[in-house]
Amino acid sequence: MNRILTFALAIAVCLGTTMLLANRAQTSARGQNSGATLDTDGAFRDGVYMGRLTAERGRPSHPTTGRWSTEKDRTSFAAGYNRGYNDFLASAAAAEMPPHRLLMLRRFFQDYKLLEGKAVEVDEILLAVTLAICFSIPHSVKAGGPSPTLTGATVKGVVKFEGKAPLAKTISMAADPSCAKQHSSPVMMQEVMADAKGDLQNVIVFVSEGLGDRTFESPTQPVEVEQKGCMYLPHVLAVRANQPLQLVNDDPTSHNVHPIPANNREWNKAEPPGSKMEEAFAREEIAIPVKCNVHPWMRGYIAVFKHPYFAVTGQDGSFDLSNLPQGTYTIKAWHEKLGTSTQTVTIGANETKEISFTFKGM
């Protein structure tokens, strides 16, 4: 009996969701609404039903196309499910969810609590499988174009530096003692950062062509730039167009944040110690130089994208572009000093391809 009730609940949720989203899709086809996007669908599946968010900024969403890819996914779903609706509302995923899905989720938890109150033991495995089947159906229709398909395709790899890396220059912070005293050792410029194996850091890898006329909703979760030790952290950052950018001054001295874009609005704002401010860039641009007019050594870069398929390499030089629809793409790697490198990749549904980029010394 327990299994029958669980299955019935899951089927009801599935049918209700499908009807809601079908209605939304019809509205979209009439040009009144663009509907849910790949990015919000990803936040929905992973952030809600699996109870976890993607931690890597380079992977803004990681939907599993309605299938549990690992046992960990299934168990994290169960953990997130049991947290309850109120806990979920406080999470970052809720901020990115369309209102109609929040309503559906509320009803889902109300039904669950009702069954729980009757001492019905929910079979989470059966429930997960049923919901997986439900959400494997594409739910998005973009006005004026085909439905985006979530295939789980991935392009990943590594960026290398070939040759002898230039010696990093030492930064002099003597002009502001409050900056200098925060560092116990010399601070170096971050222009070309490669390890002994040639792994190159701070390279932006992204899809430059191949997405066609697909559109993506902008995340509402802010991305943070920290000013600490009179340096920009991170040195290279990538965000979505119109995504909130939160600038935090953790230093005991004032800064002056001054992006110098070519395709966006330029602004120049003072920021007192311990303060925060929020800005955003409306248009795609790779990449915008940012400086501090008070401390001339403070420089960074912010890349702005209209889609979620980008990554910034860390210390190991790796990148991972997940959840790509099948197709042929131009993948570009950008470095502030070493320029750009480009490759073309054709990838099928659920396929993973590895590529590498190599930059040579100046």
**pLDDT on residue 12:** 56
Q: Binning pLDDT at 50, 70 and 90, where does residue 9 land?
A: low
Q: What is the pLDDT of residues 149-187, one digit of tens each?
A: 445 799 999 999 999 888 899 999 999 999 999 999 999
Q: What is the mean pLDDT of the chain?
A: 74
**pLDDT on residue 91:** 61
**pLDDT on residue 251:** 95
Question: Is the model's pTM score more than 0.75?
Answer: no
**pLDDT on residue 165:** 84
pLDDT at 25 over 80: no
The token pair that represents 117 in the structure block: 């109150």
- Report d(CA 186, CA 194) in Å as an integer: 18
**pLDDT on residue 7:** 52
The token pair that represents 212 in the structure block: 């066609």
pLDDT at 307 over 80: yes
- The tally of CA atoms less than 13 A away on the side-chain side of residue 322 is 14
Asked if residues 46 and 65 have their Cβ atoms less than 8 Å apart, the reply is no
* Domain ranges for the chain: 2-135, 153-360
Flag the least confident range among 13-22, 231-240, 280-289.
13-22
Q: Binning pLDDT at 50, 70 and 90, where does residue 29 land?
A: very low
Taking residues 336-347, report their average pLDDT: 96
- Report d(CA 313, CA 330) in Å as an integer: 18
Q: Cα-flanking dihedrals φ and ψ of residue 162, to 5°?
A: -105, 130
Taking residues 287-302, report their average pLDDT: 96
CATH for 153-360 is: 2.60.40.420
**pLDDT on residue 72:** 47
Q: Which of 304, 327, 15, 17 is nearest to 150 (CA)?
A: 327
Asked if residues 61 and 44 have their Cβ atoms less than 8 Å apart, the reply is no
